[in-house]
Amino acid sequence: MKLRVNMTAVLAVIALVLAIAQFVAPFGPRVFRISPGILVIAALLLAARYGAHRQAKKRDEILKAVPRRPLGLSDDSPDS
């Protein structure tokens, strides 16, 4: 699981570097060249996926840290 998350970040960085390289000095035949804009969009989408996964993981950790009955209430209280 951790490898997949880190791979997303690595792929985002690689896509961004390739976009910059294509913008500065286009390489490859003109027919098969990937537009730098498409590479930047791919990098942004991968970065957004990485950020969403990190946020969900933090949310799960926070939920696990909260006790089941945070105020000390129990099912056998006379008020229920």
| 68, part of any domain | no
State pLDDT tens for residues 38-62. 989 999 999 999 999 999 999 999 9
Cβ-Cβ contacts under 8 Å for 20 (sequence gap 6 or more): 36
Domain extent at residue 17: 2-63
Angle among Cα 68, 72, 75 to the nearest 5 degrees reads 75
| 70, part of any domain | no
- Model-level pTM? 0.69
| 71, part of any domain | no
| 15, part of any domain | yes
pLDDT of residue 3: 77
Question: What is the per-residue DSSP string for 8-23?
Answer: HHHHHHHHHHHHHHHH
- CA dist 13 and 3 (Å) reads 15
The number of domains in the chain is 1
| 23, part of any domain | yes
| 77, part of any domain | no
- Short-list 46, 28, 24, CA closest to 36: 24
